[in-house]
Structure 1
Amino acid sequence: MILLFLFLFVVAAPIIIWTYSRLTSGICKCSRHLVGKVVIVTGGNAGIGFETAKDLAERGARVILACRDEGRGTTARDKIISATGNNNVHYRHLDLASLNSVRKLAQDILQNENRLDILINNAGIFGSDNVKTEDGLLLGMQVNHFGPFLLTFLLLPLLKSSSPSRIINVSSIAHARGLLDLKNLNAEKETEKAYLKSKIYCTSKLCNILMAVELSNRLKGTGVTANSLHPGVVETDILDDINIKWYQLLLPLIKLYTKSPWEGAQTSIYLAVSPEVSEVSGKYFIDCHLSNAFGKQAQDSQLALKLWEASEIFVNLK
């Protein structure tokens, strides 16, 4: 009996878990084309962002890869053009750790693009040391929240004039462990000893969800929707950057159950193209299905409003 239990635990359980993760992995089955549409994918040079951009390019869209590293960005552009035959794929520089860079990209888009149909805020980092950017903002919070917030805000006029259009925030199920304190939004109260990268990451992913909630309220009647999503646990560079205790020892096992970047991109693609969600806004999705965000804060519309107002101050909109 004991031997049977050990067999089930050591051999059968991992197989069952792996099979379940594969069967429940959502796949976007919509074949809608995007000829004549303009799409921006931040962090579109690798991982989920690359696969998302590649899929939308295959559908005929004009795709703009907004990335920090020019070499990786142009390489990704060339790969997508080669794979899809769509020459209308372009690299634009974007460093979310610099609000000046964000403003420059937004200005370039507003001046040179006639429309913007889909904005996918995909770029992000797991966490950062307790360091501030040139703007005086915590690096992890700026890259994951303040930068995307400012970019989205500045591009709203073009998104509205191009409606129906869509804003998509790539969040994470890690938001469930986030705890948003508006008086500590920039980690002002954190000491070096108490600072945790994972805590900042979780809170920033909670901000992604709340940002979509508040956008949905502000954009009612405009034809612009905003939603957020959890892509799944995906084998990307972010996994290798996580430095939680014991995590690296378990990483080989964790990777057995992770999604590929192509699988991880499916919900982003679904929210970008599916007619099923054309009028859905302010919601959270997992595996191409509507889900409930975890925790009271993630569903607090008043907190979403207060976060928006606080973020405007942090990025110097007020």
Structure 2
Amino acid sequence: MDGKQCLITGGTNGIGLIAARELARQGAHVVIVGRNPEKTAHTVELLRQTTGNPNISSLLGDMSYMADVRRVAREYTASHSRLDVLLNNAGAFFGKRLVTKDGYEMTFALNHLGYYTLTRDLMDLLKRSAPARVVNVTSEGHRLGRIDFDDLMKEKRFFNQWAYTQSKLANIMFTLELARRLEGTGVTANCVHPGIVATSFGKEHPSGLMNFLIALFGPLMLTSEQGADTLIWLSSSPEVEGVTGKYFIKRKERRPKRQARNPMACARLWEVSEQLVNKAAP
């Protein structure tokens, strides 16, 4: 990864932080995206010290707010001539229904529209940098999800688990459609379930069910290092050079649920996402 340029969202903690650290140790130039200026600056300094790699920097942005996402893409493009790896990792589970500045349900906006918008706005740079890779973090929870095109924002009825699993299904559908659209460009797109990882995920806006699951399965959860392993592998390994449109768990390809493999549904999600982003603040 010497000299490769990597952009990582959600890179200030958990598996995103570990992925940033390990890619930097391999010699990559790493840019992390964070919301909190102080925490992000501290993370950059920590990564530089622990890896011995000075080529680590940051961009600030709220990945649930499309104007911020688009600004991050513009700032990255203005300061970098290439992008070898885009790792879409920022995401969260929210115990109650929240609405973003754009008026969108927070889970869908952060977990899906943030991925879509950043990737879309960096598409030309990725193509110019080929061979390049897009890696999207999703979840096995997608198997319990359903894309409800009539109520994507869960205005009619909100249940936090439905909102979360819908967003994770959207991650896979987006990945497969992205891979189809990038065919022949030298840019690959894959997604990964990191496992149930013992991080702060789900604790910022907890729910009773999430607290119960954390307490029940806490001793069985993976470390951040274990959870980040396949992310790092997909971002850097020669073994997956040219592999695209796949879903991985523990470095093994897995078959996602049927709706995720429906080309018409994937194309429709892309079109709806484009419309939503275009309606949001520029």
Q: Tell me if TM exceeds 0.5.
A: yes
CA–CA separation in structure 1 for the residues paired with 2:62 and 2:208: 29
| Residue type of the alignment partner of 2:61 | L
- Equivalent-residue separation in structure 2 for 1:288 and 1:297 (angstroms): 23
Which residue does the alignment assign to 2:273? 311
* Structure-to-structure mapping, 1:170-209, within 5 angstroms: 170-190=137-157, 195-209=158-172
Q: What code does the residue aligned with 1:156 have?
A: M
The answer on 1:156 being equivalent to 2:119 is no
Q: Is 1:257–2:224 an aligned residue pair?
A: no
Gaps of 5+ in 1: 1-33
Which residue among 46, 55, 67 is the counterpart of 2:22? Answer: 55
Q: Structure 2, unaligned stretches of length 5 or more?
A: none
State the SS of the aligned residue for 1:53. helix
Aligned length: 280
Cα offset for 1:116?
Answer: 0.2
- The residue that corresponds to 1:43 in the other structure is 10
What amino acid does structure 1 have at the position aligned with 2:225? W
Deviation per residue, 1:182-237 (Å, 9 max, x gap): 121222332xxxx2111111100000000100001100000000011100000011
Match of 2:199?
Answer: 236
1:137 and 1:271 map into 2 onto residues whose CA distance is: 31
- Paired AA for residue 42 in structure 2: T
CA offset digits 1:10-55 (Å, max 9, x no partner)? xxxxxxxxxxxxxxxxxxxxxxxx1121000101000000000000
> 2:60 corresponds to which residue?
93
Equivalent residues in 2 for 1:96-135 (5 A)? 96-127=63-94, 129-135=96-102
Question: How has the CA–CA distance of structure 1 residues 247 and 41 changed in structure 2, closer, same or farther, with 3 Å as cutoff?
Answer: closer
Distance, in Å, in 2 between the alignment partners of 1:150 and 1:78 is 28
Q: Could you tell me whether the CA contact under 8 Å between 1:128 and 1:140 is conserved in 2?
A: no
Q: What CA distance in whole angstroms lies between the structure 2 residues aligned with 1:99 and 1:158?
A: 19
Q: Which amino acid aligns with 2:187?
A: V
Asked if 1:302 is matched to 2:261, the reply is: no
Whether the aligned pair in 2 keeps the contact of 1:214 and 1:301 (CA below 8 Å) is yes
TM (norm. structure 1) is 0.85
Amino acid at match of 2:145: G
Task: Report the Cα distance in structure 2 between the residues aligned to 1:216 and 1:250, rounded to whole angstroms.
Answer: 34
Alignment of 1:12-91 (within 5 A): 34-91=1-58
1:121-161 Cα deviation digits (max 9, x unpaired): 00100125323211111111101011111010000000000
Query: Are the counterparts in 1 of residues 95 and 206 from structure 2 also a CA contact under 8 Å?
Result: no
The C-alpha deviation readout for 1:48-96, integer Å capped at 9, x for no partner, is 0000000000011110011111111111111111011000000110211
Q: CA RMSD in A?
A: 1.6
Task: Give the stretch that moved more between structures: 156-165 or 127-136.
Answer: 127-136
* 1:185 counterpart SS class: coil
**Secondary structure at the counterpart of residue 265 of structure 1:** helix
CA–CA separation in structure 2 for the residues paired with 1:160 and 1:99: 22
Identity across matched positions, percent: 37
CA distance in 2, matches of 1:81, 1:257: 31
- How far is 1:251 from its partner? 3.0
Task: Report the CA distance between 1:248 and its aligned residue.
Answer: 2.7
Tell me the TM-score normalised to structure 2 length: 0.95
Matching residue of 1:286 = 249
1:247 deviation in Å?
4.8
